[in-house]
Amino acid sequence: MKKEAQTATTNANTVRATDAEETRLNILEVATEEFSDKGLSGARIDEIAERTNSSKRMIYYYFGSKESLYRAVLERAYTRVRSVDTNINIYDLSPAVALRSIITTTFDYHIQHPEFVRLVMNENILRGAHIGDIPGIKERNRKVIDNLRDVLSKGVSEGVFREGIDPIELHMTISALCFYNVSNRYTFAYGFDRDMSSTKALGRRHNSVIDIIESWCRA
Amino acid sequence: MKKEAQTATTNANTVRATDAEETRLNILEVATEEFSDKGLSGARIDEIAERTNSSKRMIYYYFGSKESLYRAVLERAYTRVRSVDTNINIYDLSPAVALRSIITTTFDYHIQHPEFVRLVMNENILRGAHIGDIPGIKERNRKVIDNLRDVLSKGVSEGVFREGIDPIELHMTISALCFYNVSNRYTFAYGFDRDMSSTKALGRRHNSVIDIIESWCRA
Amino acid sequence: MKKEAQTATTNANTVRATDAEETRLNILEVATEEFSDKGLSGARIDEIAERTNSSKRMIYYYFGSKESLYRAVLERAYTRVRSVDTNINIYDLSPAVALRSIITTTFDYHIQHPEFVRLVMNENILRGAHIGDIPGIKERNRKVIDNLRDVLSKGVSEGVFREGIDPIELHMTISALCFYNVSNRYTFAYGFDRDMSSTKALGRRHNSVIDIIESWCRA
Amino acid sequence: MKKEAQTATTNANTVRATDAEETRLNILEVATEEFSDKGLSGARIDEIAERTNSSKRMIYYYFGSKESLYRAVLERAYTRVRSVDTNINIYDLSPAVALRSIITTTFDYHIQHPEFVRLVMNENILRGAHIGDIPGIKERNRKVIDNLRDVLSKGVSEGVFREGIDPIELHMTISALCFYNVSNRYTFAYGFDRDMSSTKALGRRHNSVIDIIESWCRA
DNA sequence: TATGAATGAGCCTTCATTCAT
DNA sequence: TATGAATGAAGGCTCATTCAT
């Protein structure tokens, strides 16, 4: 896992810079696991350092403090989602198919990235204390909403969607249904003896979510 | 371990027993705030003690450890929800009105008890490590599901609801929409510049949630 | 185990006094176990109270403090030994038999009262801080030494014991051999894989101790 | 976990490593005093830290817990005895002189190392809970017993010792007489008004111990 | 850029003891 | 004589962070 990428860069500092970037990334990955697992206050710098290829000192060298490291982790997590839902090309699709595609992408992303879900939960426990420090979030979200608005209005004009649905309201609904499924997995699964992790259970829920939203939007 | 008895007794011990129960309750209330505010690892026993009418020592006298106190808080929070959604009398209402009533009750409870929402979030961050220790959760949930099943089947036989909706799936949907609204308030409100706390905003979302679920269930 | 003794006493307070004495004794017995088990600093007042028929408050009512309770325990333990080795009637026996009888009594007492051994160990760990407060110890010891002196001098004059053995030195030797056997049981048994508790092992050691001391004293 | 290596290395780390080893040793020395003085439960980490050149935090850095520190102290104490009684060269001496040499060495060691005696007492109060964790004790003891067996059998074949004396029994006897002399110093000295610390008193006891054991072993 | 050693502040917990009744 | 509730002080341990090299 060491020194494989980026070796083809051109400037003089290449090797060292690459090493440094690698170290940074390695720390970030381990920290993501730890913060996502235990939350900001539950995470331990020692624990992160131990599972890192480098040392505790390096964490401070690169990130300055536990909080800054947490912020870097949060930022990286949000950056990664961005790249996902920006990739959906909606304009080639019919409104119905586009909506379904958006739901599916969102649903799958949450399932495949529980660490993102947990980081967001934690950030809400912290009453959003750090999210304001992360650049680009609003821009990305604007784009998401714009997409939804386009899909909705296209659907309305084609007579397949009903009028009056607010795109933010729609996004909140999709998010809620996809998020809760992962975020509340433990208490819900226990309280209702309900499997929430198997492919079968997830497939069923996926269908429900699509069904719910389509029923709502349908003209 | 519960000291709820004796409240009607007449002998000298009564007063003291009441004092003790008061102390216990006072600790529990403060602890609920603290754990709901900072989570299990973020909460500080010193902090709780300070805001209590008693002392740090008393916390250990009554609850034994930080974790046990946390469990007591969690249990109390779950006990309180129970009393709420068991109180909805469904049998006197038409299926449509009953469903709407359930949604409204659930929606309002989450709004009015963000501390419950936060405790549940935290318990999920802990991967449900303590929920299994709390008695009666499954029983209460069974009753909730039974109620929903009754409403659904009554609605189906009356021709107002469609067939095939699983009551657990329905409950998960209602929960998700009501929970997310509070749980993700901070990140969502920031990310989308969306007011999520004003009466107006909540009223709007309330309508959406009812609309979403009704669209889904409607025959 | 309650209220069986002393019911025949004559003064007015009989019943209460008896109860009190019983409570005191019960505390003392439990405390003996606890102090002997864990030492002064290792013992816990809570632990003692719990295993008592009465309460923690009573311990303070009767004994005033942990240290005083410890002293009471120590005193009682020393009082009990006293009654034992004062009971050996030496004057009727030949010097050799008397000596052997003393050794056997001492040996057996240590085996049968490891709690006494442990209390003495603990008191030595405390550098004898409390033994001075216990009355009557020196008197009792004087008597023990006097007995030994008598046996020795009688043995010398009968030609069975050699001259020049100091009775205190002799007592120290007997004590050492009987005490160590119990006091160092755990480290010795482990270090040398030597059973030190079975009847057989104790019988063997008993013989050795007699043999050692007789060899030393023999003319 | 041991940092004894590197002492001969030449690079920059040498000095630091030595400092670390010094810190560790310093803690160990102070801890030996404290545990030997007060026992495991009576000892205070704060007290140790205060008398150390470093801090409480360092104690945990190097030893992890109070119990582990105690174990390290116990181990070191046992390691040190080992080096002593392994040093007696028995093969050049006549059996009688060898035996006397062993007794003297043992006697003197106990006098000069009351902290060792006290640690062993304490470990017995703990019912040998930790001695099993210390490596090498049995090996060392085997060697001690082997030496004694050699001396005994050589003495028997030369006609100076009598047959039938078990080397473990002999060792226990020597130990008991040397150990008690120090372990029970406080209670004995008080109870019998007997000086047990002056050179004169120790010389006298030393002679007695030699006399006792020689009488027993003599053919 | 990198590392082992060190630290102060604070955290959870426990203990002997006392108070109100 | 008896009891449950309460307490201050301290004890063991951990944490994020920094220093010397």
Would you say B184 and A134 are in contact if contact means Cβ atoms under 8 Å apart?
A: no
Count CB neighbours of B91 within 10 A: 10
**Cβ separation of B184 and A124 shorter than 8 Å?**
yes
Q: What is the Cα C193 distance to its own chain's centre? A: 27
- Residue A66 confidence (pLDDT): 97
Q: pLDDT for C136-193, tens place per residue?
A: 899 999 999 999 999 999 999 999 999 999 999 999 999 999 999 999 999 999 999 9
Between B71 and D5, where is the model more confident? B71
Give the C-alpha separation, A73 to A57, whole Å.
18
Do B and A make contact, counting contact as 3+ CB pairs within 8 angstroms? yes
Burial of B10 (0-12, 13-18, 19+ CB in 10 A): exposed
**Cβ separation of D191 and C131 shorter than 8 Å?**
yes
What is the average pLDDT across A95-101?
96
Q: What residues in C contact D213, CB-CB < 8 Å?
A: 212
Least confident range from A44-58, B77-91, C108-122, D9-23: namely D9-23
Give pLDDT tens digits along chain B (219 positions): 333 333 333 333 334 455 788 889 999 999 999 999 999 999 999 999 999 998 999 999 999 999 999 999 999 999 998 777 666 777 789 999 999 999 999 999 999 999 999 999 999 999 999 999 998 899 999 999 999 999 999 999 999 999 999 999 999 999 999 999 999 999 999 999 999 999 999 999 999 999 999 999 998
CA distance B201 to chain A (A): 11
Examine the pLDDT at D28 and tell me if it is beyond 90: yes
Examine the pLDDT at C198 and tell me if it is beyond 50: yes
Do C and B make contact, counting contact as 3+ CB pairs within 8 angstroms? no
Strand E bases within 7 angstroms of protein beta carbons: 1-21
Give the C-alpha separation, D42 to D39, whole Å.
5
Share of chain D above pLDDT 70, in %: 90
Q: CA of C185: which chain D residue's CA is closest?
A: D124
B45 CA, E12 C1': Å apart: 8
Q: pLDDT for A60-77, tens place per residue?
A: 999 999 999 999 999 999
State the average pLDDT for chain C.
90
CA angle B158, B84, A195 (to 5 degrees): 70
Share of chain C above pLDDT 70, in %: 90
Q: What residues in C contact D132, CB-CB < 8 Å?
A: 190
- In chain B, the largest separation of any two C-alpha atoms, in whole Å, equals 64
Q: Which residue is nearest to nucleotide E8 (CA to C1')?
A: D57
**Cβ separation of D171 and C192 shorter than 8 Å?**
yes
Of B118, B141, B191, the CB nearest to A192: B141
Q: What residues in D contact C188, CB-CB < 8 Å?
A: 172, 175
Tokens of B142: 């069974």
Would you say D52 and D46 are in contact if contact means Cβ atoms under 8 Å apart?
A: no
**Residue among A215, A5, A205, A3 at smallest CA distance from A104:** A205
**Cβ separation of D39 and C38 shorter than 8 Å?**
no
Q: pLDDT for C62-82, tens place per residue?
A: 999 999 999 999 999 999 987
Q: Which pLDDT band, with edges at 50, 70 and 90, does C86 fall under?
A: low
B97 CA, F13 C1': Å apart: 58
Query: Is the torsion defined by CA of C18, C23, C26, C27 positive or negative?
Result: negative
Q: Does the CB of A133 fall within 7 Å of any strand F atom?
A: no
Give which of D169, D175, D205, D213 to mutate to test C binding, by max C Cβ within 10 Å: D169
Chains with ≥3 Cβ pairs under 8 A against A?
B
Helix (H) or strand (E) holding D42: helix D13-42
Would you say C172 and C113 are in contact if contact means Cβ atoms under 8 Å apart?
A: no
Strand F near-CB residues (< 7 Å), D 107-166: none
CA distance B127 to chain A (A): 6
Examine the pLDDT at D140 and tell me if it is beyond 60: yes
Q: What residues in D contact C66, CB-CB < 8 Å?
A: none
Hey, what amino acid is at A103?
Answer: I
Examine the pLDDT at C14 and tell me if it is beyond 50: no
B54 CA, E19 C1': Å apart: 15
Q: pLDDT for C106-133, tens place per residue?
A: 999 999 999 999 999 999 999 999 999 9
**Nearest nucleotide to A64 by CA–C1' distance?**
F17
- Residue C130 confidence (pLDDT): 97
- Residue D13 confidence (pLDDT): 39
Least confident range from B177-191, D136-150, D152-166, D167-181: namely D136-150
- Residue B87 confidence (pLDDT): 66
Q: Which residue is nearest to nucleotide F20 (CA to C1')?
A: D16
Strand F bases within 7 angstroms of protein beta carbons: 1-21
Examine the pLDDT at C88 and tell me if it is beyond 80: no
Would you say D156 and D162 are in contact if contact means Cβ atoms under 8 Å apart?
A: yes
**Cβ separation of D183 and C181 shorter than 8 Å?**
no
- Residue C19 confidence (pLDDT): 77
B27 CA, F4 C1': Å apart: 18
Q: What residues in B contact A117, CB-CB < 8 Å?
A: none
Strand F near-CB residues (< 7 Å), D 53-72: 56-57, 60, 64-67
Query: Which residue ranges form the domains of chain D, and what is each CATH number?
Result: 1-64 (1.10.10.60), 71-217 (1.10.357.10)
Would you say D32 and D73 are in contact if contact means Cβ atoms under 8 Å apart?
A: yes
Query: Is the torsion defined by CA of A55, A59, A61, A65 positive or negative?
Result: negative
Examine the pLDDT at C84 and tell me if it is beyond 90: no
Q: pLDDT for B183-218, tens place per residue?
A: 999 999 999 999 999 999 999 999 999 999 999 999
**Cβ separation of C128 and D169 shorter than 8 Å?**
no
Q: Which residue is nearest to nucleotide F19 (CA to C1')?
A: A57
Examine the pLDDT at C15 and tell me if it is beyond 80: no
Examine the pLDDT at A131 and tell me if it is beyond 60: yes
Would you say B106 and B174 are in contact if contact means Cβ atoms under 8 Å apart?
A: yes
**Cβ separation of D168 and C192 shorter than 8 Å?**
yes
Give the C-alpha separation, D168 to A124, whole Å.
70
Positions of E strands within chain A: none
Q: pLDDT for A2-13, tens place per residue?
A: 333 333 333 444
- Residue B13 confidence (pLDDT): 39
CA distance C3 to chain D (A): 34
Q: pLDDT for D79-115, tens place per residue?
A: 998 777 666 677 789 999 999 999 999 999 999 999 9
Q: What residues in B contact A218, CB-CB < 8 Å?
A: 215
Of C118, C127, C179, the CB nearest to D186: C127
Count CB neighbours of A193 within 10 A: 10
**Cβ separation of D128 and C186 shorter than 8 Å?**
yes
Q: Does the CB of B196 fall within 7 Å of any strand F atom?
A: no
Per-residue b or e along C80-98, where b marks 16 or more CB atoms closer than 10 Å to that residue's CB: ebbeebeebebeebebbeb
Strand F near-CB residues (< 7 Å), A 45-64: 45-46, 56-57, 60
Q: Which pLDDT band, with edges at 50, 70 and 90, does A157 fall under?
A: very high
Q: Which DSSP state fits A1?
A: -
Q: Which residues pair with A218 in a beta bridge?
A: A161
Least confident range from B80-94, C38-52, D178-192: namely B80-94
B65 CA, F11 C1': Å apart: 16
Per-residue b or e along B109-131, where b marks 16 or more CB atoms closer than 10 Å to that residue's CB: bbbebebbbbbbbbbbbbebebb
State the average pLDDT for chain A.
90
CA distance B64 to chain A (A): 21
Q: What residues in A contact B192, CB-CB < 8 Å?
A: 138, 141, 145, 168, 171
- Residue B161 confidence (pLDDT): 98
